[in-house]
């Protein structure tokens, strides 16, 4: 029996690569000629030319050709210390997977990724590999690092197309029931592992469909939506019940949830778009990133009622921000047909937090970058609609509390960028509604849920949390790792009753 995606063993520990006595034996790897491997030229998958891809929403990169993937995997020098694996938040055994891949055993290579990750297809596409695995790849000290992310995506997608992964073992039912609030990467990591451990899992999601930001945020050109839908087929196969369009605290009372379930995992993310705090920010034509992205990327039926009307045509768009979300917004604006798309960011490119690859793609697609530029005021015209964004130039001063140079205004440098739409992508906060839903849940001053880091336990008995609601806006892979860690702790709690 095959299903569409399966991790094979139990939760990874966060700090060290997992020690797994029950893991299938890896084939012996003979020593490799490292010097010779360093001379193998780097390979990359085919990329849609910019002028073509701006006319569609398809992914930028094709999957690797199988023979090319094998050749790229052969660039891995199989270093015993595997710094790539240590740098991966879920500790994928990258050298083992690439050894199998270069032997042509794509299926087994994919299973190595699935041992430690519930979302290898997504992480291969979305992780900032230059900061994580590829940033620590020893080959990268001499040449381009091994294309770890793209090979992860290739093996796991190849497996999906060629019959799927072996069905997982599911432990006998424990009779315990766990509620998972939120169906993003954190909820997925928790739900899948808990279901495999024999617990009954019900996942609650406020949006009409499950996936969290994987569906309601990240556009198709970075990651196609069928990969997300397949993940939920896997979860249903494992017996996870999905209740969508249910917002805990609104459609279902928190107390009712606690009464019904033996444990709760909170993975509700950080979805409150930060605002600019400038005059006229509420003018017609100013959008917050998520409402803009979901209306650009999804069908009305997939959206909550207030977002079902289509975006109006836009010719000149200004996006404010410097992270991955801002790149998703500028590139979506290009695909929506805008003729002029400008990104403004108050520091320089060196301080930007998103992936360099995304910036490169945006520049290839014709986006204009205005660095050291800060918004001052939205200017409106006819019908109180946006007509321009007034900006000022900045210069960098002393580092702030995030160690990044603090931008300072240049007096007398104001200028206007004419536009008919402005998108604000300046970060996300954790929703403060939890202060009302459960006042005794301990949160910090940024509304993040406070947890005990090894177990993801909150201050409330039987309530665990992880992902962006704990870390603030972060990454798919860190949310996933939190969900995995919480699942192990929830399992222990349900089995022992110890708190």
Ligand X SMILES: Cc1cc2nc3c(=O)[nH]c(=O)nc-3n(C[C@H](O)[C@H](O)[C@H](O)COP(=O)(O)OP(=O)(O)OC[C@H]3O[C@@H](n4cnc5c(N)ncnc54)[C@H](O)[C@@H]3O)c2cc1C
Contacts of 26-30 spanning 24+ positions with Cβ under 8 A: 26/93, 26/96, 26/99, 26/112, 27/99, 27/100, 27/103, 29/78, 29/95, 29/96, 29/99
Q: Does 468 bind ligand X (CB under 6 A)?
A: yes
Among 166, 180, 171, 88, which residue's Cα sits nearest to residue 487?
180
| CA distance linking residue 152 with residue 92, whole number of Å | 10
Q: Quick one: 297 or 342, whose CB is closer to ligand X?
A: 297
Residue closer to ligand X, measured from CB, 126 or 318 = 126
Note whether 182 binds ligand X by CB under 6 A.
Answer: yes
- Is residue 127 within the footprint of ligand X (CB under 6 A)? yes
Q: Residues 111, 325, 374, 484: which binds ligand X (CB under 6 A)?
A: 325
Cβ neighbour number for residue 418 with a 10 Å cutoff: 15
The least distance separating ligand X from the CB of residue 4, rounded to whole angstroms, comes to 20
Does residue number 126 form part of the binding site for ligand X (CB under 6 A)?
yes
- Answer yes or no whether residue 185 interacts with ligand X by CB under 6 A: yes
Of the chain, the end-to-end C-alpha distance in Å amounts to 38
Contact 69, 103 (CB under 8 A): no
Binding status of residue 95 toward ligand X by CB under 6 A: no
* Contact status: 184 vs ligand X (CB under 6 A): yes
**Residue 15: partners with Cβ closer than 8 Å, 6 or more residues away:** none
- String of DSSP letters for 354-414: S-HHHHHHHHHTT-EEE-SEEEEEEEE-GGGBEEEEEEEEEEEEEE-TTSSEEEEE-TT--
- Which one of 47-55, 98-106, 204-212, 305-313 is the stretch in contact with ligand X (CB under 6 A)? 204-212
CB of 342 to ligand X, least distance (A): 19
Question: Based on CB atoms, which residue is closest to ligand X, 216 or 493?
Answer: 216
The 52-81 contact track toward ligand X, x by CB under 6 A, reads ------------------------------
140 binds ligand X (CB under 6 A): no
Contacts with ligand X in 305-324 (CB under 6 A)? Answer: 324
Residues 6 or more apart whose CB falls under 8 angstroms from that of 35 comprise none
271 touches ligand X by CB under 6 A: yes
- Window of 51-59, 266-274, 334-342, 382-390 that interacts with ligand X by CB under 6 A: 266-274
Minimum Å gap between C-beta 2 and ligand X is 27
For residue 268, state whether it binds ligand X (rule: CB under 6 A).
yes
Give yes or no for residue 484 binding ligand X (CB under 6 A). no
232 binds ligand X (CB under 6 A): no
Neighbours of 423 (CB within 10 A): 30
Closer CB to ligand X, 176 or 222, in the complex: 222
Name the DSSP letter for residue 61: B
Q: Looking at beta carbons, which pairs linking 436-441 to residues 24 or more positions away fall under 8 Å?
A: 436/249, 437/248, 437/249, 437/254, 438/254
Using the contact rule CB under 6 A, the part of the chain among 71-79, 169-177, 244-252, 299-307 near ligand X is 244-252
Strands 316-320 and 421-424: parallel
List the one residue out of 304, 303, 207, 300 whose CA is nearest residue 247. 207
Q: Is 368 in the site for ligand X (CB under 6 A)?
A: no
Minimum CB–partner distance for residue 120 and ligand X (Å): 13
Is residue 427 near ligand X by the rule CB under 6 A? no
Least separation in angstroms between CB 384 and ligand X:
28
| Residue closer to ligand X, measured from CB, 230 or 390 | 230
Give me the least distance between CB of 50 and ligand X, in Å please.
19
Query: Is residue 293 involved in binding ligand X (CB under 6 A)?
Result: yes
Selection from 332, 325, 236, 345 nearest residue 272 by Cα: 325
Q: Which is nearer to ligand X, 64 or 265 (CB)?
A: 265
Q: Is 212 in the site for ligand X (CB under 6 A)?
A: yes
Q: Which uninterrupted H or E stretch holds 38? A: helix 34-38
Q: Which stretch binds ligand X (CB under 6 A): 56-64, 302-310, 363-371, 467-475?
A: 467-475
Write down the least CB distance from residue 45 to ligand X, Å: 18
Tell me if 248 contacts ligand X by CB under 6 A: yes
Looking from the CA of 242 toward its CB, the CA atoms found within 13 Å total 25
CA torsion sign, 67 to 71 to 76 to 77? positive
Contact 127, 475 (CB under 8 A): yes
Verify binding: residue 149, ligand X, rule CB under 6 A: no
Q: Give the range of 6-14, 95-103, 400-408, 475-483 binding ligand X by CB under 6 A.
A: 475-483
> CA-based angle 241:243:244, to the nearest 5?
140
Contact between 204 and ligand X by CB under 6 A: the answer reads: yes
Q: Using CA atoms, how far apart are residues 216 and 103, in angstroms rounded to an integer?
A: 38
Stretch binding ligand X (CB under 6 A), from 51-59, 178-186, 335-343, 384-392:
178-186
Binding site for ligand X (CB under 6 A): 126-127, 181-187, 204-207, 212-213, 216-218, 222, 247-249, 267-269, 271, 289, 293, 324-325, 328, 467-468, 473-477, 479
């Amino acid at each position: 029996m095959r299903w569409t995606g399966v991790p094979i063993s139990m939760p990874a520990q966060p700090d060290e690569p997992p020690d797994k006595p029950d893991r299938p034996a890896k084939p012996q790897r003979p020593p490799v000629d490292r010097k010779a491997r360093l001379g193998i030229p780097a390979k990359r998958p085919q990329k849609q030319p910019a002028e073509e891809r701006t006319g569609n929403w398809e992914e930028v990169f094709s999957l690797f050709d199988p023979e090319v993937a094998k050749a790229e995997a052969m660039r891995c020098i199989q270093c015993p210390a595997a710094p790539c694996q240590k740098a991966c938040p879920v500790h994928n055994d990258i050298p083992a997977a690439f050894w199998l891949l270069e032997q042509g055993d794509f299926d087994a290579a994919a299973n190595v990724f699935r041992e430690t990750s519930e979302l290898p297809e997504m992480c291969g596409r979305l992780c900032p590999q230059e900061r994580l695995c590829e940033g620590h790849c020893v080959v990268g000290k001499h040449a381009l690092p091994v294309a770890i992310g793209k090979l992860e995506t290739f093996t796991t997608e190849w497996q999906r197309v060629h019959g799927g992964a072996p069905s997982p073992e599911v432990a006998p039912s424990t009779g315990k029931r766990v509620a998972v609030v939120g169906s993003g990467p954190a909820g997925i990591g928790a739900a899948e592992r808990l279901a495999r451990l024999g617990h009954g899992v019900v996942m609650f999601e406020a949006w009409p469909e499950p996936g969290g930001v994987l569906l309601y945020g990240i556009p198709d050109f970075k990651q196609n939506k069928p990969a997300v839908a397949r993940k939920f087929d896997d979860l249903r196969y494992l017996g996870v019940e999905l209740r969508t369009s249910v917002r805990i605290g609104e459609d279902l009372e928190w107390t009712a949830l606690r009464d019904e379930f033996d444990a709760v995992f909170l993975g509700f993310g950080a979805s409150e778009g930060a605002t600019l705090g400038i005059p006229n920010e509420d003018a017609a034509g100013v959008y917050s990133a998520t409402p803009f992205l979901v209306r650009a990327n999804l069908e009305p039926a997939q959206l909550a009622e207030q977002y079902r009307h289509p975006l109006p045509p836009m010719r000149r768009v200004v996006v404010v921000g410097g992270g991955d979300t801002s790149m998703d917004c500028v590139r979506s604006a290009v695909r929506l047909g805008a003729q002029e798309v400008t990104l403004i960011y108050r520091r320089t490119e060196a301080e930007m937090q998103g992936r360099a690859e995304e910036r490169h793609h945006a520049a290839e697609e014709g986006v204009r970058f205005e660095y050291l530029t800060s918004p001052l005021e939205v200017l409106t015209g006819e019908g109180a609609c946006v007509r321009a964004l007034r900006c000022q130039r900045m210069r960098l001063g002393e580092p702030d509390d995030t160690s990044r140079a603090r931008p300072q205004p240049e007096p007398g440098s104001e200028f206007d960028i004419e536009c008919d739409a402005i998108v604000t992508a300046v970060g996300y906060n954790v929703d403060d509604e939890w202060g009302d839903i459960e006042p005794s849940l301990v949160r910090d001053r940024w509304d993040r849920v406070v947890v005990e880091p090894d177990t993801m336990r909150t201050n409330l008995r039987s309530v665990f949390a992880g992902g962006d609601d704990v870390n603030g806006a972060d990454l798919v892979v860190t949310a996933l790792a939190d969900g995995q860690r919480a699942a192990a702790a929830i399992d222990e709690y349900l089995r022992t009753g110890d708190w």
